[in-house]
């Protein structure tokens, strides 16, 4: 049997501050944001970094509501996801995973690959362009949300797709934020 101590040790060795697995709705997102903010304050995280992390969480968690595929694990049915906030040495990491339609994989992959090629000033330039025009740019095809995530992270996004069945894949993303 896996005891609470085993789970505790596992979270500790994985440098986890806080984690959530299950279905998501806007009310739960608000609770996750409040809890994350409290934990970041406890860690005396600089205001600017705390704000960046919360901004990233807002975009990523709401994105799950808009774009993830519903799933039922027998207990809950809805927007299933995993969310982990952790800290390795001087770097925070946010791991997010959720189901998407298999036919969305190629498009999402190319968007993420594209934003990962952009320098910080290009990210801001594209963000402003999309905000001003209120539509997707011809150049990228990325939305405001993902650009804000990249802007707040200041680093490339790590991502992966795990095949689930004929219709669904599990999309995993890791976003890092330097502590200082």
Partner 1 sequence: MERIEIEPTSTTPRINFRPEEGYFEIAGKSLPENSFEFYKPLLDFMEAYAESPVKNTSLVFKLQYFNTSSTSHFLRMIKKFERITVDGNLAVVHWFYDEDDEDMKEAGEDFKVLSKLPIEIIGAQLD
Contact 25, 76 (CB under 8 A): no
- Binding status of residue 38 toward partner 1 by CB under 8 A: no
Tell me the residue ranges of DSSP E strands in 24-147: 71-72, 77-78, 80-88, 91-101
Q: Which is nearer to partner 1, 39 or 102 (CB)?
A: 39
In SS3 terms, 25-60 reads as CHHHHHHHHHHHHHHHHHCCCCHHHHHHHHHHHHHH
Q: Rounded distance, CA 60 to CA 143, Å? A: 12
With CB under 8 A as the contact rule, the residue among 15, 22, 28, 62 that binds partner 1 is 62
* 72, burial (CB in 10 Å: exposed 0-12, middle 13-18, buried 19+): exposed
- Binding status of residue 48 toward partner 1 by CB under 8 A: yes
Q: Which is nearer to partner 1, 154 or 163 (CB)?
A: 154
- Binding status of residue 137 toward partner 1 by CB under 8 A: no
- Binding status of residue 143 toward partner 1 by CB under 8 A: yes
Q: Rounded distance, CA 32 to CA 35, Å? A: 5
Q: Count of CB atoms within 10 A of residue 114's CB?
A: 15
- Binding status of residue 35 toward partner 1 by CB under 8 A: no
User: How long a stretch of residues is the chain?
Assistant: 180
- Binding status of residue 104 toward partner 1 by CB under 8 A: no
Contact 96, 78 (CB under 8 A): no
H or E element at residue 132:
helix 120-133
- From 4-12, 68-76, 96-104, 142-150, span contacting partner 1 (CB under 8 A): 142-150
With CB under 8 A as the contact rule, the residue among 11, 17, 28, 65 that binds partner 1 is 65
- Binding status of residue 125 toward partner 1 by CB under 8 A: no
Q: Which is nearer to partner 1, 100 or 142 (CB)?
A: 142
With CB under 8 A as the contact rule, the residue among 9, 10, 14, 30 that binds partner 1 is 30
With CB under 8 A as the contact rule, the residue among 17, 35, 144, 157 that binds partner 1 is 144
Which residues are at the interface with partner 1 (CB under 8 A)? 26-27, 29-30, 33, 47-48, 51-52, 54-55, 58-59, 62, 65, 127-128, 131-132, 134, 143-145, 148, 152
């Amino acid at each position: 049997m896996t005891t609470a101590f085993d789970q505790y040790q596992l979270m500790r060795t994985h440098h986890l501050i806080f984690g959530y697995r299950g279905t998501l709705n806007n009310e739960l997102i608000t609770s996750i944001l409040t809890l994350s903010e409290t934990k970041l304050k406890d860690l005396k995280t600089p205001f600017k970094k705390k704000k960046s992390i919360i901004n990233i969480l807002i975009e990523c968690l709401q994105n799950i509501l808009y774009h993830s595929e519903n799933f039922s694990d027998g207990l809950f049915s809805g927007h299933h996801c995993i969310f982990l906030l952790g800290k390795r040495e001087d770097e925070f990491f946010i791991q997010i995973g959720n189901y998407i339609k298999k036919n969305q994989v190629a498009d999402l992959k190319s968007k993420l690959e594209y934003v990962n090629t952009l320098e910080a000033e290009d990210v801001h330039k594209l963000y402003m362009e999309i905000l001003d025009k209120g539509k997707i740019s011809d150049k990228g095809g990325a939305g405001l949300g993902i650009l804000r995530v990249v802007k707040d992270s200041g680093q490339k996004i790590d991502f992966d797709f795990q095949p689930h069945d004929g219709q669904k894949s599990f999309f995993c993303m890791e976003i890092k934020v330097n502590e200082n």
